[in-house]
Structure 1
Amino acid sequence: MKRSGSSDLPLHYGSVPPWLYERMSKLGLSVIEVLLSDYGKDEVIRRLSDPFWFQCFGSVMGMDWHSSGITTSVLGALKKSINPNSRSLGIYIAGGKGKSSIQTPVELLKISENTGLNGNELVRASKLSAKVDNTAVQDGYQLYTHNFILTDKGKWAVIQQGMNVNDKTARRYHWHSENLKSFVEEPHTGIEGINQGKILNLTAQAAKESRSGILEISHTNSEKIMADFARLILPAHHDVQASDVDLKRLGALLYKTRETQPENFEELLLLKGVGPRTLQSLALVSEVIHGSPSRFQDPARFSFAHGGKDGHPFPVPLKIYDETLSILQKGIEKSKLGNSDQLKSVEKLHQMIAKAEESFHPNFDINEVIEEERANSWKYGGRTVFGEAEKPHNQKAIQLSLF
């Protein structure tokens, strides 16, 4: 079986405000619908099993770009919007945080009744993935959320998260059913994390008597740790710094969407009146949908689409968020009627930005970009968990140099 990666994240508390949660649900559904249309169900599962892509997905939704809250918030928003449409989409989400995670077996059995899948096998996969990460390998993180995402053809991904209350971090584990052979023969491609001293590994041969409750994984070769195991470790600082971002990619994006006249995009996008700020967000959403795996190494860059609810790198621009949503939703509806020109145009936007990166040489201060976004936030309906963005007094003009 392929365990596709894990992420270490600073632990954040609090809840997502309703004004953001509703938009996250709509944007999440739109992104999944375009992925399904262009790449299919198996690719949706593969994307969700990738910790780097998942973090970028959460960032483009307006969540805190590096926090543990992305996991529960994104999956909760997806479950809310996808499950009512599961029959048509062919995608189902079970589980959740806390008590909701306990309901995963019941939900999987109900899903199996609707799809004809083997419910007992799905429940077994859910329980074993949790056992491995929570019990078989005791790395200081106690699971508190577990989501099982599957297609109506039986492909699945597990995303679960554990908490370490001592160092205030969370660890997210991603699983993928692709190439599944056995839970008892090398179920991991690797187990790796920040060194915190000795780890109790109940999959070791020496722990035979302790494995009575988890016999299914007793043959795991626990000493084999793959060097290329996917790891995403995010910093503790909340603000977005230059070291968190691929400046060449961000700079090319800003240059093409801000300094190229919007009317030059009209033929491409088939969208009259769309300004540069909306193009900036739309380009990053398009990259989440159409970008190659190598483009998701810097999740902080995707927060330049819709900011973050905590104000980093800037308040969530609700007007821009809603306009981006409207463009995607209209494109999806037209595509269902046989006219996919608008969605193809959104894809071309990503291709244009990627092309521009080839000859772009960044020479700008990312702090000036953030300062400009914050200064203009009131124009775009900027909002955080602390309130609405206000028009700054004695606002200074900021001239960015992107060459």
Structure 2
Amino acid sequence: MAQRAGSADLPLHGGKVPKWLGDRMTRLGAVMCEAIVHHYGRDELLRRLSHPFWFQSFGAVMGMDWHSSGITTSVIGALKRGLSPRAAELGIHVCGGRGSHSRKTPSELATIGDKVGIDGDRLANISRLVAKVDSAAVQDGFDLYLHGFIVTDDGNWVVVQQGMNGATRLARRYHWLSEGLTSFVDSPHAAIEGRGKGEIINLADRRAAPSRQVQLDLLRSMGPDRIVREVAALEADGCPLPKAREAPQPMLPHLIMPAHHDVRESDIVMRRLHGNIAAAADRGPTDFEQLLMVPGVGARTVKALAMVAEVVHGAPCRFSDPARFSLAHGGKDRHPFPVPLKVYDETIKVLKSAVQAGKLGREEELLALKRLDEQSLRLERYVTGPDLKEIVAGEFEQSAQFGGRSVFGWERARGTDE
């Protein structure tokens, strides 16, 4: 049975992803997915996407606002653009999206089914049912506006959809995974992200099975009109409706995404960050100069690659601090620092080189990335380093040199006229 894996607050943010970042997110997201499929297979990629902590870290390492709801839209969009041209090769298809794109999901799935020989009509019905569960069976105050459906040639799938609550300026993301799923109405979610808002109606909870059955029995025996009259009579007499007295649902791990936009030390597990930095310094000269030989790759790119390698190879427990991954390529709104485009482009170049070599049976470059992640894990046990303010200040100091850019424009070298 797929289980809910956790929850997180996702502040609503306005604005659009600029083209210069969206294009890079498309390329980086696609090649990272290729690396995961190469090492671990398609089903493992679906498992990662169904994990809310990993999903948020994935978006952060690509330069999106590390804590906001915009990660959901931008990641689904980037994967759809980046993986669609590789669909025949990888056997992975990304459907849906935001707004009108979400409503096209059933027809997209039917087309894919005809093309690859899976039951597209069944998948289309699953898409509709999943959306109905999270909009009708789970009544938590969030209105769905995004529905992403990712399916493999084997018919396995993951759904990531998101709702918003305009009054509270919060979003909630719902994750579904086909693996182990036996019921669409009996605790089916792989995860639901969002702050608890008090008591809600959740008819998709397994403890609501008696309620679902009673509702069906009432509908058959009384009909909808009589039910409405009976409820109105009860309320008029001041009779409170009965409340369930079953044991509370077991606590789930929570990823609390704060409202503040800046990245603070409280948002990061610093020993992990110091491990990333130290591993880059330790493995960089050994592996990247001798194995990858990609022109222009410097120490700063190796630091970014250490965090990218962790997203590709890291265990689920290592994504409790998504803010840390924003230190790979910054953020479009200058938090924690402007996106270093030269570093970003070098990261994509290294990963593409490694994946292409891996397809030809030359695993050295991909294994170099894996060793970088393994070294981070070893070093974080005892290594120390600068505090976050010092790290961020250093990034701003070199931002112009690294091609720093944000939605506010290009960064100028320190000391020059604005």
TM-score, shorter chain, exceeding 0.5: yes
Q: 1:354 aligns with which of 355, 362, 377?
A: 377
Q: 1:337 aligns with which of 350, 360, 368?
A: 360
TM-score (norm. length: structure 2): 0.86
C-alpha contact (below 8 Å) 1:268/1:348 kept by paired residues = no
C-alpha contact (below 8 Å) 2:61/2:307 kept by paired residues = yes
Structure 2 equivalent of residue 42 of structure 1: 43
C-alpha distance in structure 1 between counterparts of 2:218 and 2:407, whole Å: 46
- Give the gaps of 5 or more residues in structure 2: 220-243
Sort the Cα spacing of 1:41 and 1:353 in 2 relative to 1 into closer, same or farther, 3 A. Answer: same
1:313 matches 2:336: yes
1:370 matches 2:355: no
Q: Percent of counterpart pairs with the same letter?
A: 49
C-alpha distance in structure 1 between counterparts of 2:157 and 2:191, whole Å: 19
C-alpha distance in structure 1 between counterparts of 2:357 and 2:77, whole Å: 27
Bigger mean CA deviation after superposition, 135-144 or 268-277: 268-277
C-alpha distance in structure 2 between counterparts of 1:104 and 1:264, whole Å: 47
C-alpha contact (below 8 Å) 1:134/1:142 kept by paired residues = yes
Sort the Cα spacing of 1:261 and 1:26 in 2 relative to 1 into closer, same or farther, 3 A. Answer: closer
C-alpha distance in structure 1 between counterparts of 2:245 and 2:256, whole Å: 22
Alignment of 1:4-403 (within 5 A): 4-5=4-5, 6-188=7-189, 194-202=195-203, 204=208, 205=211, 208=215, 226-258=249-281, 260=282, 263-266=285-288, 269-271=291-293, 274-360=297-383, 362=384, 364-393=386-415
SS in structure 2 of the partner of residue 160 of structure 1: strand
C-alpha distance in structure 2 between counterparts of 1:189 and 1:222, whole Å: 25
Tell me how far 1:299 sits from its aligned partner: 0.3
Task: Give deviations 1:142-175, integer Å, cap 9, x for gaps.
Answer: 1100011111101111100000101101111111
Amino acid at match of 2:374: Q
SS in structure 2 of the partner of residue 380 of structure 1: coil
Task: Give deviations 1:278-301, integer Å, cap 9, x for gaps.
Answer: 110011111000111111110000
Sort the Cα spacing of 1:306 and 1:209 in 2 relative to 1 into closer, same or farther, 3 A. Answer: same
Tell me the C-alpha RMSD between the 2 structures.
2.5
C-alpha contact (below 8 Å) 1:10/1:168 kept by paired residues = yes
Sort the Cα spacing of 1:141 and 1:336 in 2 relative to 1 into closer, same or farther, 3 A. Answer: same
SS in structure 1 of the partner of residue 9 of structure 2: strand
Sort the Cα spacing of 1:210 and 1:144 in 2 relative to 1 into closer, same or farther, 3 A. Answer: farther
Tell me how far 1:188 sits from its aligned partner: 4.6
Structure 2 equivalent of residue 218 of structure 1: none
Tell me how far 1:268 sits from its aligned partner: 6.3
Amino acid at match of 2:90: L
Task: Give deviations 1:256-281, integer Å, cap 9, x for gaps.
Answer: 435x5953444664436632101100
Amino acid at match of 2:327: F
Sort the Cα spacing of 1:163 and 1:37 in 2 relative to 1 into closer, same or farther, 3 A. Answer: same
Sort the Cα spacing of 1:281 and 1:376 in 2 relative to 1 into closer, same or farther, 3 A. Answer: same
Amino acid at match of 1:344: L
- Give the gaps of 5 or more residues in structure 1: 213-220, 395-403
Tell me how far 1:85 sits from its aligned partner: 1.5
TM-score (norm. length: structure 1): 0.89
**Which of structures 1 and 2 has the bigger CA Rg?**
2
C-alpha distance in structure 2 between counterparts of 1:225 and 1:155, whole Å: 32
C-alpha distance in structure 1 between counterparts of 2:251 and 2:407, whole Å: 38
Matched residues, number: 385
C-alpha contact (below 8 Å) 2:65/2:71 kept by paired residues = yes
Tell me how far 1:116 sits from its aligned partner: 1.4
C-alpha distance in structure 2 between counterparts of 1:190 and 1:327, whole Å: 33
Amino acid at match of 2:215: K
C-alpha distance in structure 2 between counterparts of 1:56 and 1:2, whole Å: 21
C-alpha contact (below 8 Å) 2:338/2:406 kept by paired residues = yes
Tell me how far 1:3 sits from its aligned partner: 4.7
Amino acid at match of 2:401: K
C-alpha distance in structure 2 between counterparts of 1:192 and 1:357, whole Å: 29
Sort the Cα spacing of 1:117 and 1:240 in 2 relative to 1 into closer, same or farther, 3 A. Answer: same
Tell me how far 1:364 sits from its aligned partner: 2.9
C-alpha distance in structure 2 between counterparts of 1:50 and 1:118, whole Å: 26
